[in-house]
Structure 1
Amino acid sequence: MLVPIKGHGKEFEAYRTLFIHEYEMDLVRNHKLNDYDAHEKAVNIIDSSFLAEAGKNNNVLYRIVKSLEGTQHNVGYIWILSSAKDNTAFIMDFYILPEYRKQRLGTEALTELFYQLAQNGNTAITLRVDPDNLAAHNLYKKVGFAVTGINMARKLNSAAF
């Protein structure tokens, strides 16, 4: 079950802390930012998307809730950026908590997300995946995503020319 989270309160703060840490690591590893710049960028992205006025209409954060052995558990998060202009959605972040991985919960959550987005008039969904995250690649292929391109980056240094 996907439960929307408002951009405030303890549920949001738990996700915000997790996102900042995970995104910092991605920025350092894949974009070669230093720790300070990675932290600043991660904080800016999450805060401007949910806590600033501009983010209110098109960013939605969901908690993934699953009943396990009769008890409701928060098993992860999905952050969606929607575009009403072209009826599409972009998965900004999809995270299953480590202790709940390899239980088919990612497949269940994405299937429910696809259904909800289609019911709301969305016609397509896209995402970016870490090139080293083979488990995510496999999950996304399994639920019907296709590779549409490859992101590449290069640092520029004017002294090198």
Structure 2
Amino acid sequence: MLRLENMTAAHFDDYMSSSIKEYALEKVQAGSWTQEDSLDNARLTYDRLLPDGLNTPNNFFFSIINGDNVIGYIWLGPDSENKNIAFIFDFEIYDAYQNNGFGSQAISLASTKAKALGFTSVGLHVFGTNSRAIHVYEKAGFEITDIKMQKKL
């Protein structure tokens, strides 16, 4: 049975080392950042969002657990524009566990956690090139609220 558990310090350290690199890569692929600035920009973003790391107030890090295995993670915190909205800052089901319905289940569990924490809704950002994630989020009931577009010159 799938469940969310508070992320341990060890899992958080692993998460941070890989997540910063992944975020930098996604921003480059989206055309938002240059390759040469991407890692510094990603580190600055994470430092700004998480000045106290795992202990940053009002940020909730969960390991997604199936049986005895950590199969992913999810990070919730208040949306910067509306504190009533829980924002999913980061979410991943590890490759070996994808295509088993775990993403949809984890989103449902995270929504329940967000409601218990007093939030009235859940929001997130997804890169336009991530069709797999868009499918999971739409299936879970998310609707488009904003679209950012860009044209290469």
TM over 0.5: yes
1:119 offset after TM fit, Å?
1.8
Where structure 1 has 5 or more consecutive residues not aligned to the other structure, the ranges are 156-161
2:122, 2:19 → 1: CA distance?
21
**Does the CA-based 8 Å contact 1:20-1:43 persist in structure 2?**
yes
Structure 1 stretch displaced more, 113-122 or 145-154: 145-154
C-alpha separation in 2, matches of 1:153 and 1:21: 23
Superposed counterparts of 1:95-134, under 5 Å: 95-134=92-131
Give the counterpart of 1:82 among 63, 78, 83.
78
Pair 1:139–1:127, CA change in 2 (3 A): same
Q: Cα–Cα, structure 1 residues 46 and 117, in superposed 2: closer, same or farther, change >3 Å? A: same
TM-score normalised by the chain length of structure 2 = 0.85
Structure-2 separation of matches of 1:129 and 1:105: 18
Are the equivalent residues in 1 in contact too, given 2:30–2:129 (CA < 8 A)?
A: no
| CA distance in 2: counterparts of 1:34 and 1:21, whole angstroms | 13
Hey, what does 2:50 align to over in structure 1?
A: 50
Aligned length: 148
Per the TM alignment, residue 83 of structure 1 is displaced from its structure 2 partner at its CA by: 5.0
Helix, strand or coil at the partner of 1:132: coil
Say whether 1:5 aligns with 2:7: yes
**Identity across the alignment (%):** 28
AA paired with 1:21?
Answer: K
Higher gyration radius (CA): 1
| Separation in structure 2 between the aligned mates of residue 83 and residue 140 of structure 1, nearest angstrom | 17
Where does structure 2 lack aligned partners over 5 or more consecutive residues? none
Please give the secondary structure, in 2, of the residue aligned with 1:147. coil
| Partner deviation per Cα, 1:14-44 (whole Å, 9 max, x = no partner) | 1012211210111111134222311011112
- Structure 2 counterpart of 1:24, which letter? A
Matched, 1:136 2:138: no
Q: How does the TM-score come out when normalised to structure 1?
A: 0.81
Distance in structure 2 (CA, Å) of the matches to 1:119 and 1:58: 13
One-letter code of the match for 1:5? Answer: M
In structure 2, the CA distance between the partners of 1:135 and 1:128, relative to structure 1 (3 Å rule), is same
* More RCO (CA 8 Å, sep 6+): 2
* 2: CA distance, partners of 1:12 / 1:59: 12
Q: What whole-Å deviation, never above 9, does each CA across 1:126-152 have from its counterpart, x for those lacking one?
A: 111110111111100111001112023
